[in-house]
Each structure stands twice: as C-alpha cells, then as structure tokens.
Amino acid sequence: MAMIILLILLIFFAVLGVPLAFAIGASCVTYISTNVPTFLSMVPQRVWNGAYSELMIAMPLFMLAGELMNTGGITKRIINFCLQLLRPIRGGLGEVNIVASMIFGGISGSSVADTSALGSILIPAMEDLGYPPDASAGITVASSTMGMIIPPSTPMIVYSMISGASVGALFMAGAVPGLLIGLTQLVMVYLISRRKGWHPERTPFVFREFASAILSGIPALLMPLFIIVCVSFGVCTASESAGVAVLYSVIVGFFVYRELTWKAVLEALKKTLISSSSIMIIIGFTTIFTWVLTMQKVPQIVANFFIGLNMPAWGIALVFCVMILMIGTFIDVSPAILLLTPIMLPVMESYGFSALQFGAMMITGLAIGLVTPPVGMCLNACNKINRMPIIAIFKGALPYLICNVIVLLAISLIGPLTTWLPQLLGYSI
C-alpha cells in the first residue's frame, strides 16, 4: 500500500509540473507527515546523506572532463582520427559517429554530453554529405547510449552507491555490453548504408593527412585508456581518476592542442555545476523515497511476490527487461537507478543474478530510455542542435536501438558477458 500511495503522490506532483526531484521529495514528505510525522525531523539529514558521498565527487569531475574535451579540441581530434581510420568502409561518417561515441563515452561517462559534443559537429557534416536529417540525428543519439555503459560510466557510480558493488568491477561489467552495442550498430549502419547508397566520395589517400590525424588523435585516445587501467587495476579510485581526467584535459587543451581558453574553462565549470547539482538534488530526494519504501518493507514484499510466481530465471530476466524499458521512457536514469535498485536487486539476486549483471542490465536498458519519448534526454539535446521534432529523431534512431535491445537480451540471458571480464581482473562476483 505504501508503494501505491507514494507512486500516486509522485504522479500527482509530476502532473502539476513540479520538477522530478521536488516531486519525489514532496511525495515523500506528504506521506511521512500524514503517516509517521515523528520522522519529519530526519528528512534533511537523509537528503544530505544521500548526496554526500566520496563516489559523488567522480560524477561532476567526469562531466567537467567531457566539457573541457569539447572546447579544448579533443573531440575534434577524435573525430578526425576515426574518419581516417574508417575512410574505406561503407557508411562513412555514420561509422565515424559510432566509433567516436565509443571513445568519447570512455571519457565523459555521459550519453547526453556525447550527443551534444559529437552531434554539434557530425550532424551538419553528415547532412552535407547527403545523409537524411533523421538518419544523421538518429545515428548520433543511438550511438550516444554507449556513453552510459562503456567505462567510465556516471550511472555505474550512482548504482555503486546503492548496491555496494565495486566501481572498478562495474566499469568492467559494462565494457563488453558497450562494445557489443557499438559493433552491432556498426554492422547496422553498414547494411543500411549499402542498401541506401550512403557512402562518401572516394578521395585520394594522402599519407601526410593520415599520419597527422593519427598522431594528433593519440593524446585524446590515451585518456580513456588511462582511466580504465587506473580504476580497473586499483591504481587509483574512481574519484581520483576523474580528477586526473580533468587535469589531463586541461594540459592537452592548453599546451598540446592550444585551443582551450580560460573563458572556455569557466563556461565548462558553469555547465558542470548546473548539471551535477540537479543530479545531486535528485539523488538526495530519491534517498528519502527509498528510505520510506525500505521502512515499509516494500523490497521484501516485492521479492516475495516474484519468488511466489515460481518463474525460471530467464523469465524473470525478460520481465525485468520489459519493466526497465517501460520505466526508462518516462523516468530519467539516476532516479530510476535509485528507485529500482533497493527493490529489484534482492529479487534478482535470489534468482542467481549477480549485482554486476543486474547493474549492467539496468543501465543498458535505461540507456535506451534516453532515446525514447517523452523524456528522452538525448532526443532533447539533439533537438537543440538540428531543431528536428523529437519523434522524427526517434524514428531515425529506431533501427540502431534494435541493436541495444538485442544486447540487453543477450546480457540478461548470458551472465558471463558481464561477469567474465571482472572475474578475469580478479574482482569477486
């Protein structure tokens, strides 16, 4: 009953136009004040404790690194590198878009940042080369979903706070699914490009241009590699590696590429402050929501319900996949992780799913929600670039989102796809 009342209150405040963070907080405060008013004095402390975590330091720092990359010339070098590397392959800039997203996602940890940074450069370029506007936008937003999965991943950090799983292990759990999404999308772009004739004009191979793009791209490519190695092998924590990523972006932007300015740094700090603050407010208020659910023993009730169904593990996995795809269409990633993890993780563990596999399943599914209406944060980011209707962008992305769904089903039914790499590196599952 507690869960139903909370959900009704949440929907009520959301319909009134209250921002999600405050809608979650208002529904919880209303419930507490009418049912257990003695607990009201504990609300501020719970909100603070929810947002106050050492792991949360990593999130704004990775965001800042992504902003500095875009203004410091790193993003442009990544694109030029990918363009030279993939020039013989049918699909041209479509293939470049996906590979660049894989690399960029390994630095910023954010799908929205990926869409904004790469889309502002690649969407106009793709349209100039004859790609339809919906295809250009669709490939961009669909490929950006890897930013949430390929390490480092901001949602993985949020999930680690709730589940207690190792950040390094979670990063590695997301590596294989992220690469599988990228590879399947590359195949899809190739097939569609071959059928529709999307291929750049043949240009003479100039070794000097090729060598310049490769050498210029190496400093940009070293960053995600360094982050993954440091976190995975315990050289430094996620927060420390995020700080190093920011420092590296500043050094490369100022002294290697010489495109970063102090004005751009201040603008990046401003954008990061706004973005990370909104996420932390959501996390703080969502903590109250999960506290109330735990207090009312909702996770145990839900776990007993699913166990009572006597479904096989693969059936529970499919049910959860459908659930996460539906939830992702109207709830943003961080709130969804904070709301679902305390409820569904015990259920999935009782069926033999590890915290790593569950986390990879949830974040892979929620990544699809970033490209589905009505919330679709990546759709909104893309809309600001090309001013296309959100529905048109979604239709353009749909063929490539099928790849995401296939990978989601694969990692849900084949556990080693998420646990093999962490185990190989010595993490306990």
* pLDDT of amino acid 279: 72
* pLDDT of amino acid 89: 61
In a domain, 11, yes or no: no
In a domain, 39, yes or no: no
| Sequential DSSP letters for 296-326 | TTHHHHHHHHHHHTT--HHHHHHHHHHHHHH
* pLDDT of amino acid 407: 96
* pLDDT of amino acid 1: 59
Q: How many domains does one find in the chain?
A: 1
- Give the CA distances from residue 387 to residues 1, 60, 317, 381, 384, in Å, rounded to whole numbers and listed in that order: 44, 28, 38, 10, 6
Per-residue pLDDT of the chain (429 residues; tens, 9 = 90+): 556 776 677 777 766 766 766 777 777 777 777 777 777 777 777 777 766 666 677 778 877 887 787 777 777 787 777 777 766 565 577 888 888 888 777 666 677 777 877 787 788 878 777 788 888 889 999 998 888 888 878 888 889 888 888 888 898 899 999 999 999 999 998 888 888 877 666 666 677 777 887 788 788 777 777 777 776 676 777 777 778 888 888 888 888 888 888 888 898 888 888 877 777 777 777 777 777 777 777 777 777 777 777 889 899 999 999 989 988 887 778 878 887 888 888 889 888 899 999 999 999 999 998 888 876 778 877 887 777 888 888 999 999 999 999 999 999 999 999 999 998 888 877
Contacts of 339 (CB under 8 A, 6+ apart): 286, 289, 290, 331
CA distance 94 to 110: 20
Question: Cα angle at 230 between 182 and 64, to 5 degrees?
Answer: 70
In a domain, 36, yes or no: no
Burial class (CB in 10 A: 0-12, 13-18, 19+), 204: exposed
CA distance 189 to 293: 44
> Nearest Cα to 112, choosing from 360, 376, 340?
376
> Nearest Cα to 118, choosing from 80, 174, 89?
80
Q: For the segment 58-104, what is each residue's pLDDT rounded down to a tens digit? A: 778 877 887 787 777 777 787 777 777 766 565 577 888 888 888 77
In a domain, 4, yes or no: no
> Nearest Cα to 386, choosing from 149, 172, 198, 131?
131
In a domain, 373, yes or no: yes
Residue 139 belongs to domain spanning: 44-424
370, 112 in Cβ contact below 8 A?
Answer: yes
In a domain, 12, yes or no: no
